[in-house]
Structure formats: structure tokens, C-alpha cells
Amino acid sequence: MPILIEGIQCLVHCGVTSVERRQPQPIVIDLELRCANSHAAHSDELLDTVDYGKIVSRVSEIATTSRFCLLEALADLISQTLFQEFPISQLDAWVRKTDPPLDHIKGSVGVRLSHTRPPHAHRSGTTFRNPEVSQFFLQQFGRLQGGKILDIATGSGRHALFLASRGYTVVGIDRNAETLAHVQQAGSEIQNGHVTTSCLDLEADPGNPPDLGDHEYDGILVFFYLYRPLFPRILQALKSGGILIYETFLIDNHIVHHHPRHKEFCLQHNELLQLTTPLRVLQYEEGASINPHSQEQTFTARLVAQKP
């Protein structure tokens, strides 16, 4: 039986211009979800269905912690996240502005979408679904306002391919040539965006880290990689107004979980803020988070910052 959730109310920074995005606008979200909940009516157990309270909280978090140019992007991110975190098989959503800043409109403007859970993570012309995409990244990537993005230590390309499927131009660098070949092949199958890769050992010469460019990128991503001598190069490569999204292990993770094995691969408390001076901090967090797939606890530092 379907689960109906109507009237999720949020104040969201959403608009086609930077001026419009400065002020949050009232948005209402309606959801219709389907899951394998036929036993719930007899068992009266929450385990046999989905917790709609958690879904409401998650949707509200998605809507209020990122910025969006289009309602379509907000609706798609809600869909992607709910499929990743909840055992739902189908989702129908209606996302609308109830007081749009437009003349001659008394009602709302919005979008409807209907998505079915894919049988497995896959690529398509419009969407790349990957269950390993960082939850912090999903919350924050809306701050990237297009342009050219650098993904440092891209690995399997989870974030690079995700962005490319949404029309971004992404450069992924890593020292593993075999992995990069798979990323390049996957990127070639995405119609709307563009992915290029570069095989580069960032740590080959600690005294002279490789040049990443001068005011080259509109955004830079670094996830679970730490090489302190590279930070000046990262800041130099970022354009004025560009966004850095960074997440990696905190020293607490080494203490509690003994991972990474070497504590020098972990950030000290507030160290990431010091390493990224003089960027303007848009969001910063330290502490434990739970991976929704593995349910493992990980201690990380999480930063979104903008170059003046």
C-alpha cells in the first residue's frame, strides 16, 4: 500500500539568479512512496514499513542545507537520497514554490517527478546513481554553480560521475591509472556532462607538490584524502568565488577505530580551518556520522568554503 506524506514545509534557497537565492522561499513537498509494507498492517511493527518521520526529517534537511538553481535539482536530489537511504521501490514527488516571485501568479509553481528504484547502481543519460556517494557531498553539491570542477584523488569517480551526469565538466586526478581508465569509460557514456582524468602522483615530490592550475576551477572536491603540502596548490587552483568541499578522517577515528592506521593521515581538531585560510567558511562540522549503507560510525571533519 502507498505511503502518502503531504505538506512538508521548508524555507529553501532556490532561484535561477544569485539574487533570488539569497532569500529563502517557502516550498511545499508532497510524497507518495511505495515499499514492501504488506505485512505491516498485520504485524503493527515499524520494521515492516518505512519510518515516515525519518523521511520527513531527511527531506527537510536536504531542502534547507543546500542551494538550488532549479526545483528540478531539488526534486532529483530528494529522490536520489531517499532511494539510497530507505527501502522504497517507487517515489512520486510534487515540489512547489507556494509564493513564487513572479507577477500574475496567485498559486504555486513546481515540478512533479515519478521514479522507480533501479535494480542496481547504474548510469544513464541524466542520472548517475552510486550508493557510495558521500552524504555530506549530497547535502552540499548544490552550492557548486556549474563550471569546471576538480576532483582530487577521485578513486572510483563516484563524485566526478555524479556531477557529470548533472551537466558539470569534471577533471578527476588520481595516481591509479587502472581505476582512472574505468572512470574515463564511465564518463564517456554520460550524455550531458564531461569527465576527463589525469594520472598524477600528488605526493611524488613533497618539497614541490604538482601545480593544479591558477584560478582554474569553479569548485574543488577532496574526500578522504589528506596531503598537507598540497593545500597551497588547492587554494591557488580555485577561482575567486569558487567552492571547496572537503571531508576526511578526524583524529578521533584513529583513536576509536584505529583507522587510518597512521594518525598523520587524520586531521587534528580545527586543523582543516587552519589549512584553508583565507577561504570564507560556509559550513564546518566535526564529529561522528553514520553511513546509511554500512551503519558504520566515522569521525570526520567536513568543510564547505568559498574563495574571496
Residue pLDDT, tens place only, 118-146? 543 333 333 444 447 888 898 899 899 88
142 and 111 within one domain: no
Q: How far apart are CA 36 and CA 47, in angstroms?
A: 11
- 119-136: b (≥16 Cβ within 10 Å) or e: eeeebeeebbbbeebbbb
Clarify whether residues 108 and 142 are in a common domain.
no
- Domain count along the chain: 2
Residue 124 in domain: no
Task: Name the grid cell of 244.
Answer: 571547496
In this structure, the answer to whether residues 150 and 86 fall within a common structural domain is no
Q: Are 24 and 81 members of one domain? A: yes
Same domain, 143 and 277: yes
Domain boundary among 68, 89, 116: 116
C-alpha 251/C-alpha 263 separation (Å) is: 7
DSSP track, 5-36: EEEEEEEEEE-SSHHHHHS-EEEEEEEEEEES
What is the predicted pLDDT for the residue at 142?
86
Q: Do residues 202 and 175 touch, judged by C-beta distance below 8 A?
A: yes
The CATH number assigned to the domain holding 97 equals 3.30.1130.10
**Alpha-carbon span 14 to 213, nearest angstrom:** 31
Grid cell at residue 221: 572536491
- Range 51-60 average pLDDT: 91
Check whether the bond before 206 is cis (ω within 30° of 0): no
Do 108 and 139 fall within a single domain? no
* Residue 247, all three cell numbers: 571531508
Query: Are 50 and 147 part of one and the same domain?
Result: no
Structural domain boundaries, residue 29: 3-116
Report which of residues 284 and 129 the model is more confident about: 284
Shared domain check, 289 and 141: yes
Kindly tell me if the per-residue pLDDT of 265 is higher than 70. yes
Task: Assess whether the previous peptide bond of 278 is cis (omega < 30° from 0).
Answer: yes
Q: Domain holding 291: CATH number?
A: 3.40.50.150
Specify burial of residue 52 (Cβ count, 10 A radius: 0-12, 13-18, 19+).
middle
Query: What is the rounded CA–CA span in Å between residue 17 and residue 144?
Result: 14
Instruction: Tell me, yes or no, whether 216 lies in a domain.
Output: yes
- Give the model confidence (pLDDT) of 158-172 as tens digits: 999 989 888 899 999
Q: What is the pLDDT of residue 6?
A: 95
Give the pLDDT mean for 33-45.
Answer: 81
Say yes or no: 105 and 220 in one domain: no
Residue 276 has pLDDT above 90, yes or no: yes
In a domain, 128, yes or no: no
Residue 199 has pLDDT above 60, yes or no: yes
Strand order in the sheet with 238-249: 194-199, 169-174, 148-152, 217-223, 238-249, 297-306, 280-290
Assigned domain for 49 exists: yes
pLDDT at 121: 37
Residue 62 and residue 107 in one domain = yes
The DSSP 8-state label assigned to residue 129 in this structure reads: -
